[in-house]
Amino acid sequence: IINSLHEKERMKSIGFIGAGNMGFALAKAAAARFPGVTLHVVDVKPERVELFRREFSDVRVAGSPAQAAEAAELTVLAVKPQDFAVLLEELRGCRALLVSIAAGVTLARLEQALPAARLARVAPNTPCLVGEMAAGYAFGSRVIPVDKELVRAFLAAAGKAVEVEERLLDAVIGLSSSGPAFVARLMEAFVEAGRRLGLSAEAARELTLQT
């Protein structure tokens, strides 16, 4: 489990290429942990960029993915996997520290497409929305020690993360990335069972959540 003693002092700027739900959740966690951090954001949907501007005190809207990455200490690649091919082409000359949260996009593919970038791959989950993420992560071959410290501090802001060999990230995706959905289905079954036994739906839900 990761920890950093100096994360508040070290994280000054973070880029977000993609401002969807997961990107926003990670940004929210980072902004809470690192007061005064500058967020550089770019997204194809203006309303998502506007959400960042409303919610966070220091947001710089980047003109391109490359501009966001060049301006930040660490940049999160938070676009959907089907949009990755175009993004990788746009970032081809990038030399920045990039953290991909795209499921199924391997470090080998990233390093081939981005020959100068320093790369990490993370499998987060939705509880990062409330600062209770459980994630797995792996580093590419070009990261340096300070890069690892930055990635660990960034992930610690959103919850807990465990470094694993990249080949084990599929297991992480099945366990903790998908786990909240499995638990939610189990909870739905608990609520339904309580209702069938005579409890009101409201009482069954309240008791299940507390349980």
pLDDT in tens, the chain (211 residues): 444 444 445 789 999 999 999 999 999 999 999 999 999 999 999 999 999 999 999 999 999 999 999 999 999 999 988 889 999 999 999 999 999 999 889 999 999 999 999 999 999 998 988 889 999 999 999 999 999 999 999 999 999 999 999 999 999 999 999 999 999 999 999 999 999 999 999 999 999 999 9
Distance CA 205, CA 207 (A): 5
CA nearest neighbour of 7 among 40, 26, 32: 32
Tell me the β-bridge partners of 100. 77, 121
- Two tokens, residue 101: 């949260």
CA nearest neighbour of 9 among 147, 150, 121, 125: 150
- Phi then psi for 160, rounded to 5 degrees? -120, 145
Q: How many CB atoms lie within 10 A of CB 97?
A: 25
Helix or strand (DSSP H, E) at 161: strand 159-163
Alpha helices in 1-64 (DSSP H): 7-10, 21-33, 46-55
Distance CA 134, CA 159 (A): 6
Which residue is associated with the tokens 């081939």? 112
